[in-house]
Structure 1
Amino acid sequence: MTRKIFSNCLASLAVMAVAATPIAAQDAAEEADPLGLPSNITILKNDNPNVRTATAIVNGHVVTGTDVDQRLALLLAANRNEPSAEELQQLRMQVLRNLIDETLQIQAAEAQEIEVSQADIDQTYARVAAQNFGQETAAMDEYLRSVGSSPASLKRQIQGEMAWQRILGRNVTPFVNVSEEEVNELLQRLEQARGTEEYRLGEIYLSANAENKQAVFQNAQRIMEQLRQGGNFVGYARQFSEASTAAVGGDLGFVRLAQLPSEMATVAREMQPGQLVGPIEIPGGFTIMYLIDKRQVLTADPRDAVLSLKQISIDFAPGTTEEQATARVETFTQGVQTMRGCGDAENVAAGIGANVVTNDQIRARALPEQLQALVLNLQVGQTTPPFGSIEEGVRVLMLCGRDDPRVEGGPTFDQLMDQLTDERVGKRAQRYLRDLRNDAYIEYN
């Protein structure tokens, strides 16, 4: 997959020489020309402000400042916080290198007569629009323009991704072999690991060597700070990560600690879901880790139980005092305790001025973490303790049904075969792109 690296954008300045005009001639000149411009002008540089100069030229293809601005706008749209001037400059450098890699991938496909037709691009663009804006591509067009990007910028990114996948499909994937013995051995080890913990990790990997190690580390720290301030991990992984998982937002899927580099395994063992850690130095560079979830191998996770719940709640009028709220919560709690199961909830709620909302298809893991264990320990007809505040209202959850998850048989032979193949294709893809960079002629402005 594409490795994403930063570069800088420089602007050029024009100099104009203006000849001095004798004072006696100025009065007549001002009548004809209110700006007082001299009659004879020497142009030192053809610097038309309406023409955007190239930020980089990649094997003859121009990457302009506009290209960088519009792709950067896509990244910033997914970021909740306004980056500082220094962080914004680093993001621009990163986006420029992304665009250079993208251009190299498209050029490699064209050189090998691997076609990515406009119809293919438009079809993928329409599918993205359908997923995010219904069936209206016009709605996505308008959104992209509103954030400072453009449909053309996103379509160029789609073209690059499709070109790269087709190159790999021709030149890499057919030559990657995974034997049946390897898959069977992995299945055996998986069965032996039944009941041990698996970790679903997100990663942002940045490669480093002895020369750029400190600069890469500082860049990883800046990314980490943006993520702590609310930056979208998936978006940052897609833009910055140099691992093969960048295309899927850095998602490694569920892995066991033994499958990770020792540096990552040591950290992951102590992490809790939702926790972000990094940068961590590992062989070849640095990584930022995000623990999405964890589970036990080949064991049903109680959090996958599908629940039928009733939410019973009360709200407080503006100006309600703490004393008044306490009294009402006491009445509410006593009323809930009198409920004779889920069928009685609406009647009792009406008598105490409470509201009832029913949800018959909610997974336990979708609840806030503090409530998951409480709800999973309930019997049908029982409720959680009251929770909330004067500002948010007070509520309880009543369990009205539960479908426990079935024990999964684990991944199939074919699924493991695909997983191993994808891992090897990803490593070869990184080397392929590195060779394209080494052979490229890139001129920076």
Structure 2
Amino acid sequence: MKTLIAPFLAAALLLGTAAHAQQVQPLDRIVAVVDEDVILQSELDLALNNVLAQYAGREDQLPPREILQRQVLERLVLVHLQTARAGEMGVRVGDEEIDNAISNIAAQNRLTPDQLRQQLASDGMSYDDFRRSLRDELLSQRLRQRFAQTRISVSEAEVDAALASQTGEQYHLAHILVALPDGATPEQIATGQQKIDGIKGLLDKGEMTFAAAAVRYSDSPNALEGGDLGWRSLDEIPAAFANTIRTLQKGQLVGPIRGPSGFQLLQLVDTRSTDQAAAQSVTQYRARHILVRSEGDDDAAKARIDTLRARIAGGADFAEVAKENSDDTFSKDKGGELGWFTQDQFGPEFGAQVAGLQDGGVSAPFKTQAGWHIVQREETRQTDVTDDNRRAQMRERIGQRKLEDEWNRFLREMRGEAYVDIRTGNQAAAGGNGG
């Protein structure tokens, strides 16, 4: 199993064991108190063992166990805070969503869900723990999405400027962060500067690889991944680094530079050229639909949509039936008219029905999350979306860059405001740190 889904399990275990605190044996030792909940030794051991399994054969890249334990425990603290905040905001993940996620994970690894369950058991992980891990990871993802929707915006001017400066080059980057608190004192700044200079000295002397130094010393959430930032275009790189990155050779460093989060070192791992997007066209459909919402009585809704479909089959005008009967307030007054759209725009079930019709055809009743539908496909066209796609991709890149900075700041704020009492290692001896 470690070779099959270890990357996923790393995320799941490190991002998803807060709920496990309620499910373990009563004698399990508390290693941290996080607001009104706890993290138990069994959770920490589970996450630690997973990291050790990922680094099998490369143990020399890991920091001493006490430092590794502190890093993993800090991730668990952040996970608990994220899932708690998600709950406060009404973010929920249902059992059906977890079932679907498990089915997808199994399929990606060429397993059935039952085979995945058996493989988890053979690796010593209970299926219930795995589900709880998935639930918490999905909650964290939903919280991040909600955060992006409310805090991140990208203007058309920003997209224009980024497209104008696009070079077709991508850069594989890694970084090391020495974090500073908001409003850092001169002493804290000096300590941070001394630490980042020390790390830079080790790298310059060749005493440690960049990835090993990131694992051991970085305060970034991706420290245990060697600080890997993946492939990025210039528009996805902070402005403080972007111009310099273009002049570097593989393996060279930038920094240290002080940014919003603290002092950073950046390494150029590799570069590659990307072809400019070729001309692209998509099929668009124009259609009308009638919606009948279930509202707790699915049988009645089905009977009603069947009646409306029978009327249309008998010669009634689709638009008139929609005006009189559709529960879609946005299209009802227009005779159910939806305008031009792509197949996936209104969800896979709706798109599949439209794509399966001929122009002028009317579907049988079908169900989506919104309720019961009948759709009439009016016409089809091919549309050049090359420029739209380029702009959408650029908008996504800029948004992701902004989100990374703002999300990390949000996590630091949330961590600083929380009550966290660490009861293991040196931090316990120092009395933990309450927020």
TM-score (norm 2): 0.51
Which residue of 1 is the match for residue 106 of structure 2? 129
Q: Which residue of 2 aligns with 1:160?
A: 136
- 1:412 alignment partner, SS class: helix
Q: Is the 8 A contact 1:106 1:164 kept in 2?
A: yes
Report what 1:286 is aligned to.
Answer: 264
Deviation at 1:169, TM superposition (A): 2.9
Give yes or no for the alignment of 1:242 onto 2:215. no
Q: Is the 8 A contact 1:207 1:242 kept in 2?
A: no
3-state SS of paired residue (2:265): strand
Once the two structures are TM-superposed, the CA of residue 128 in structure 1 deviates from its matched residue by 2.6
Within 5 Å, give how 1:379-398 maps onto structure 2: none
Question: SS at 1:94's partner residue?
Answer: helix
Question: Aligned partner of 2:405: which letter?
Answer: K
Deviation string, structure 1 residues 359-403 (Cα, Å, up to 9, x no partner)? xxxxxxxxxxxxxxxxxxxxxxxxxxxxxxxxxxxxxxxxxxxxx
- Select 2:163's aligned residue among 150, 167, 187: 187
Distance in 1, matches of 2:71 and 2:92, equals 28
In structure 2, the CA distance between the partners of 1:219 and 1:444, relative to structure 1 (3 Å rule), is farther
1:112 corresponds to which of 69, 89, 94: 89
How do 1:37-436 and structure 2 match up within 5 A?
Answer: 51-79=27-55, 80-83=57-60, 87-131=64-108, 133-137=109-113, 140-141=116-117, 155-190=131-166, 193=167, 197-208=169-180, 211=188, 213=192, 214=194, 228=209, 241-242=220-221, 250-255=229-234, 259-260=237-238, 266=244, 269-272=247-250, 275=251, 280-283=256-259, 284-287=262-265, 289=267, 291-295=269-273, 298=276, 412-436=390-414
Which letter maps to 2:179? S
TM-fit CA distance, 1:216: 6.8
Same amino acid, percent of matched pairs:
19
Aligned partner of residue 73 in structure 1, secondary structure: helix
Give, in whole Å, the separation in 2 of the partners of 1:205 and 1:262.
14
Separation (CA, whole Å) in 1 of partners of 2:45 and 2:201: 23
Q: CA deviation at 1:186?
A: 1.7
Task: Tell me, in whole angstroms, the C-alpha distance in 2 between the residues paired with 1:268 and 1:413.
Answer: 23
CA distance in 2, matches of 1:231, 1:81: 10
Q: Which amino acid aligns with 1:75?
A: V
- In structure 2, the CA distance between the partners of 1:299 and 1:422, relative to structure 1 (3 Å rule), is closer
Superposition CA RMSD, Å:
4.8
Contact 1:73 1:149 in 2 (8 A): no
Q: Deviations over 1:64-112 (max 9, x none)?
A: 1111111122222221323499622211110000000000000001112
Q: Give 1:428 deviation, angstroms.
A: 2.0
Could you list the per-position Cα deviations for residues 253-305 of structure 1 after superposition, in whole angstroms to 9, with x for gaps in the alignment?
Answer: 23379x55556764773333xx48688554322335351432277499xxxxx
CA distance in structure 2 between the aligned counterparts of 1:204 and 1:419, rounded to whole angstroms: 22
Report the Cα distance in structure 2 between the residues aligned to 1:421 and 1:415, rounded to whole angstroms: 10
Report the secondary structure of 2:64's partner residue: helix
Q: So what's the TM-score if we normalise by structure 1?
A: 0.50
Amino acid at match of 1:250: L
1:262/1:432 CA distance change after superposition, 3 Å? closer
Structure-2 separation of matches of 1:166 and 1:294: 32
Residue range with higher mean Cα deviation, 119-128 or 214-223 = 214-223
Counterpart AA for 2:29: T
CA 1:175–1:89: 2 relative to 1, 3 Å: closer
CA contact (8 A) 1:129 1:136 kept: yes
Matching residue's letter, 1:173: Q
Greater relative contact order structure (CA < 8 Å, 6+ sep): 1
5+ residue gaps, structure 1, are 6-48, 301-407
8 Å CA contact retained: 1:73, 1:147 = no
The aligned amino acid for 1:60 is E
Contact 1:144–1:151 at 8 Å: present in 2 too? yes
Q: Report the AA paired with residue 253 of structure 1.
A: R
Listed as ranges, the gaps of 5+ residues in structure 2 are 1-10, 15-24, 182-186, 279-385, 424-435
Q: Which has the larger radius of gyration?
A: 1
Once residues 97 and 289 of structure 1 are traced to their aligned partners in structure 2, the CA distance between those partners, rounded to angstroms, is 25
| Compared CA separation, residues 63 and 168, structure 1 to 2 (3 A) | same
Aligned with 1:250: secondary structure? strand
Counterpart-to-counterpart distance in 2, 1:179 and 1:71: 41
Q: Tell me: CA distance 1:423–1:435, structure 2 relative to 1, closer, same or farther (3 Å).
A: same
Matched-pair contact (CA < 8 Å) for 1:208–1:216: no
